[in-house]
């Protein structure tokens, strides 16, 4: 997953709340916000999966529009 895909997916799934969620929501699996994790070099895919888990997005969100398809 590329950073641009990550940002598109956040906008798609969280709308106007995306910037707040990325900046202020501490992800328990990572121990920091998505923005801080990005700055620290954490894998974008790992951050996205942690966001999906913490915000109860459906499994379909993990590979939704703007995201790469899962490997087969």
pLDDT digits (tens, 9 = 90+) for 20-64: 999 999 999 899 999 999 999 999 999 999 999 999 888 888 775
The pLDDT score that the predictor gives to residue 29 is 85
**Nearest one of 1, 16, 66, 72 to 50, comparing CA atoms:** 1
The pLDDT score that the predictor gives to residue 66 is 52
Q: Which residue has the tokens 């969280």?
A: 14
Q: Kindly report the pTM of this predicted structure.
A: 0.81
DSSP state, residue 27: E
**Nearest one of 5, 48, 43 to 25, comparing CA atoms:** 48
Name 28's Cβ contacts closer than 8 Å, sequence gap at least 6.
Answer: 50, 54
The pLDDT score that the predictor gives to residue 67 is 57
Kindly tell me if the per-residue pLDDT of 65 is higher than 70.
Answer: no
The pLDDT score that the predictor gives to residue 33 is 97
The pLDDT score that the predictor gives to residue 44 is 93
Rg (CA), the chain: 11
């Amino acid at each position: 997953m590329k950073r641009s895909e990550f940002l598109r997916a956040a906008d798609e799934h969280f709308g106007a709340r995306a910037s707040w969620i990325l900046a202020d929501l501490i992800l328990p699996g990572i121990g920091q916000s998505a923005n801080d994790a990005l700055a620290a070099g954490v894998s974008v895919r790992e951050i996205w999966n942690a966001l999906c888990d913490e915000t109860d997005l459906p499994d379909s969100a993990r590979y939704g529009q703007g995201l790469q398809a899962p490997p087969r």
